[in-house]
């Protein structure tokens, strides 16, 4: 299967290919995750598997979701020595995931090694993105680990480094999106957690926006979890979000 590859040199917005919504499968077990997948359509969203779900269910869950037609974002945030990260990213590509990520704070050599590891996969390589500053962290949190300045400034520095290493985009807060679009260009994908539909609780994310607000500031892919997974009708909730994101949709 050929997956969409984003390139920092591309002039096309990543939103032109598929749904901009990525649903975080934050469930206790694979059975619940698959039950959710059976209630929504692959055309409505991509699905994100994080550390908890992957540790519990492993590659089998990825394959089960792919068999249902879903593109999978493997959100394991690899952060290790360059050789180890390169092998991990290659293993993710072998699994056929749509998107995989690494920590930008791992540095230039680590990110470059990850990018190089995907070259043999050609058009079948997953989208490779870097995590900048976790959306659960604010300026005070960064000072606590010895990083001066604002979370926004640090995220932008890491994003520029990731682009220089040839990565396809970054995970960032929606609050940095407009600045990053200016600095990195329209073809550099911005993947944003901390997105909450209007009226939903902010949960454990400190820096949040609604889907429409995120789209307006340049977010390409928005990660949404509990407001969709815990909805009485997830498909209807997704449909409402997608409708809102259409031109004039907020007025409907």
- 135 marked as binding residue: yes
- For 121-153, b/e burial (b = at least 16 CB within 10 A) is beeebbbbbbbbbbbebebeebeeeebeebbbb
Q: How far apart are alpha carbons 220 and 216 in whole angstroms?
A: 10
Q: Where are the domains of the chain?
A: 21-244
Q: What are phi and psi of 203, to 5 degrees?
A: 60, -135
Whether residue 14 is predicted with pLDDT greater than 70 in this model: the reply is no
* pLDDT bucket at 115, cuts 50 / 70 / 90: very high
Q: What is the DSSP string of 215-243?
A: HHTT-SEEEE-HHHHTSSSHHHHHHHHHH
- 76 marked as binding residue: yes
5-9, 34-38, 189-193: which has the highest mean pLDDT? 34-38
Query: What value does the mean pLDDT take over residues 142-164?
Result: 92
Average of per-residue pLDDT values in the chain? 89
Residue 77 bears catalytic tag:
yes
Nearest to 194 by CA among 156, 154, 224, 216: 224
Q: Which of 51, 77, 87, 181 is catalytic?
A: 77
| pLDDT digits 0-9 by tens, 242-251 | 999 988 665 5
- 225 marked as binding residue: yes
- 82 marked as binding residue: yes
Question: Model's pTM, two decimal places?
Answer: 0.88
Domain made up of 21-244: CATH architecture: Alpha-Beta Barrel (3.20)
- 46 marked as binding residue: no
Dihedral sign for Cα atoms in the order 51, 55, 60, 61 = negative
Nearest to 176 by CA among 143, 146, 137, 202: 137
Whether residue 43 is predicted with pLDDT greater than 90 in this model: the reply is yes
As beta bridge partners, residue 209 has: 195
């Amino acid at each position: 299967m050929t997956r969409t590859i984003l390139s920092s040199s591309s002039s096309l917005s990543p939103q032109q290919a598929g749904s901009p919504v990525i649903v975080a499968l934050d469930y206790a077990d694979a059975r619940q995750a698959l039950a959710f997948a059976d209630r929504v359509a692959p055309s409505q969203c991509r699905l994100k598997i994080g550390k908890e779900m992957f540790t519990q269910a492993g590659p089998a869950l990825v394959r089960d979701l792919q068999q249902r037609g879903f593109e999978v974002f493997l959100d394991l945030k690899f952060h290790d020595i360059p050789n180890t990260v390169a092998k991990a990213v290659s293993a993710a590509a072998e699994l056929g995931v749509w998107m995989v990520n690494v920590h930008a704070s791992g540095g230039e050599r680590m990110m470059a090694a990850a990018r190089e590891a995907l070259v043999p996969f050609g058009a079948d390589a997953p989208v490779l993105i870097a995590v900048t500053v976790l959306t659960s962290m604010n300026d005070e949190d960064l000072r606590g680990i010895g990083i001066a300045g604002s979370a926004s400034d640090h995220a932008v520095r890491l994003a520029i480094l990731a682009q220089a290493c040839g990565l396809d985009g970054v995970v960032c807060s929606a609050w940095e999106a407009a600045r990053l679009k200016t600095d990195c260009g329209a073809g550099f994908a911005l993947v944003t957690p901390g997105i909450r539909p209007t009226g939903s609780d902010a949960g454990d994310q400190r820096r949040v926006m609604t889907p429409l607000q995120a789209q307006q500031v340049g977010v390409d892919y928005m990660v949404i979890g509990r407001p969709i997974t815990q909805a009485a009708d997830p498909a209807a909730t997704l449909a409402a979000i997608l409708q809102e994101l259409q031109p004039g949709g907020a007025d409907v």
